[in-house]
């Protein structure tokens, strides 16, 4: 359903919401029973659209908010912060977040933090009305906030960075690296920089395009999957030094379907080469890798890097959580077939369906968002 609809339309957001609320209440009953058994340590009783752990364990989150104008029903999410003791405060009131005369609807889509834990990058998925006929366009932008809620003005007094996807800070806590769409919708990306002090700084790795990237912890580096603009050559796994703009090829991949996930130490990288097979590779010894038939989903590493936690559904879709043990990574010989192993998944949280999840930076907690009410629940990390 669009987040941007005409209020007088027979397909208005209000009418759809009524049906959705009824269906969600019915479907959520068994989930509540399962979650009551687990006794969450903390709960955010809001309709959570996205969340992210700070380095010290605090949680920033988006909470769905709907507002109305004469012509449109809009979504303008609030942004809140939960302290480690459970206390919460609102950082951004969505109905007061505007951009001049621009008519927009947005949802909080993802969050990341500066290394010092003081600045939040809120990735927003926005829909804008672009002409009098009501035609709309979708895009990403990033809102830059201090952890007290103060907006950081960057470019010409703006606190938002347009066309900014998967933003992250370098170690100086002021340089922001974003992916910008090179081929829409979200097929290929290019890198570009901006700075909270000096403003936009231009492109990085100019002329090159990438399918995805993930930051290397405690560094100015990233692991990225490069693909040429014509999509003619194979995807290549690269280590990129974002400040020096140097690169080193790790491996040429047989395919790439998504799910790029780097282990906490940065020593192992996981990704799907198709919709069934997860490949796990040693970064420093790229000939050592293993293939696991687990089914496409969203991956996070365990703190000890011996397992991965897999949501057996793609992003923004609901699925159960399972642990997958990672076997030893053998050296593979070039030109020879690679065996595909079939691991036995270990069910987490009684197999209840979840929309989103994240492991805390210290590895002690698991935060999840279930379908239906979409409250955020915090548990001890299941063993």
Q: What is the pLDDT of residues 13-70, one digit of tens each?
A: 333 333 333 333 333 333 434 444 468 999 999 999 999 999 999 999 999 999 988 8
In the block, residue with structure tokens 């769409």? 181
Structure confidence by residue, pLDDT tens digits, 275-302:
999 999 999 999 999 999 999 999 999 9
Lowest mean pLDDT segment, chosen from 97-101, 105-109, 213-217: 97-101
CB 181 within 8 A of CB 210: no
Q: How far is CA 75 from CA 92, 96, 129, in A?
A: 14, 12, 13
Higher pLDDT, 201 or 60: 60
Point out which residues pair with 74 in neighbouring strands: 67
Tokens of 343: 């691991």
Sorting pLDDT into bands at 50, 70 and 90, what band is 198? confident
More confident residue, 323 or 34: 323
- The whole-chain average pLDDT of the chain stands at 89
With H, G, I as helix, E, B as strand and everything else as coil, classify residue 240. Answer: strand
The dihedral formed by the CA atoms of 100, 106, 110 and 115, expressed in degrees to the nearest 10: 10
Instruction: Copy the structure tokens of residue 276.
Output: 């069934």
Residue 332 has pLDDT above 90, yes or no: yes
Residue 315 has pLDDT above 70, yes or no: yes
Q: Which residues 6+ apart lie within 8 Å of 284 measured at CB?
A: 267
CA dist 285 and 104 (Å) reads 48
Cβ neighbours for 153, distance < 8 A, ≥ 6 positions apart: 159
Average of pLDDT values for 175-186?
Answer: 94
* CA 253 centroid distance within chain: 23
pTM of the model: 0.88
Indicate the Cα dihedral angle 185, 186, 192, 196, nearest 10°: 90
Question: What are the CA-CA distances from residue 188 to residues 233, 277, 299 (Å)?
Answer: 13, 22, 21
Q: CA separation (Å) from 339 to 258, 284, 289?
A: 21, 21, 10
Q: How confident is the model at residue 224 (pLDDT cuts 50, 70, 90)?
A: very high
Residue 262's nearest CA partner among 223, 291, 298, 292 is 223
Residue 216 has pLDDT above 90, yes or no: yes
Q: Which of 133, 122, 141, 104 is nearest to 2 (CA)?
A: 104
What is the distance between the alpha carbons of residues 303 and 366, in angstroms, rounded to a whole number?
A: 12
* Structural domain spans, the chain: 1-169+376-383, 170-256, 261-352
pLDDT value at position 16?
A: 36
pLDDT of residue 155: 67
CB 359 within 8 A of CB 309: yes
Query: What are the Cα distances from residue 121, in Å, to 1, 29, 74, 108, 140?
Result: 26, 34, 22, 11, 12
Mean pLDDT, rounded, for 130-153:
89
């Amino acid at each position: 359903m669009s987040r941007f609809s005409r209020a007088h339309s027979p397909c208005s957001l209000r009418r759809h919401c009524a049906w959705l609320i009824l269906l969600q209440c019915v479907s959520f009953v068994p989930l509540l029973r399962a979650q009551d058994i687990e006794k969450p340590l903390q709960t955010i009783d809001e309709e959570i659209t996205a969340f992210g752990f700070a380095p010290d364990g605090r949680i920033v989150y988006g909470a769905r908010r709907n507002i109305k104008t004469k012509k449109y029903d809009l979504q303008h999410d609030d942004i809140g912060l939960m302290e480690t003791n459970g206390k919460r405060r609102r950082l951004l009131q969505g109905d007061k977040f505007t951009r001049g005369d621009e008519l927009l609807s947005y949802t909080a889509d993802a969050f990341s933090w500066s290394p010092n834990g003081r600045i939040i990058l809120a990735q927003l998925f926005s829909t804008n009305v672009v002409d009098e006929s009501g035609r709309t366009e979708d895009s990403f932008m990033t809102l830059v906030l201090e952890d007290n809620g103060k907006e950081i003005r960057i470019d010409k007094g703006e606190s938002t960075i347009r066309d900014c996807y998967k933003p992250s800070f370098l170690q100086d806590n002021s340089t922001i690296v974003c992916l910008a769409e090179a081929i829409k919708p979200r097929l290929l990306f290019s890198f570009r920089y901006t700075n909270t002090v000096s403003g936009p700084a231009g492109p990085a790795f100019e002329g090159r395009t990438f399918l995805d990237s993930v930051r290397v912890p405690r560094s100015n580096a990233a692991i990225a999957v490069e693909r040429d603009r014509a999509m003619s050559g194979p995807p290549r796994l690269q280590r990129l030094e974002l400040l020096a703009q140097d690169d080193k090829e790790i491996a040429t991949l047989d395919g790439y379907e998504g799910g790029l996930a780097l282990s906490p130490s940065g020593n192992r990288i996981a990704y799907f080469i198709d919709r069934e097979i997860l490949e796990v590779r040693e970064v420093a010894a790229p000939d050592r890798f293993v293939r696991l038939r687990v089914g496409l989903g969203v991956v996070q590493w365990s703190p000890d890097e011996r397992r991965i936690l897999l949501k057996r559904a793609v992003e923004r879709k609901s699925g159960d959580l399972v642990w997958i043990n990672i076997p030893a990574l053998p050296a593979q010989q070039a030109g020879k077939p690679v065996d595909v192993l079939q691991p036995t998944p270990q069910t987490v949280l009684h197999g209840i369906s979840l929309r989103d999840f994240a492991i805390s930076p210290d590895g002690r907690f698991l935060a999840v968002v279930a379908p239906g009410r979409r409250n955020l629940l915090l548990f001890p990390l299941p063993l």
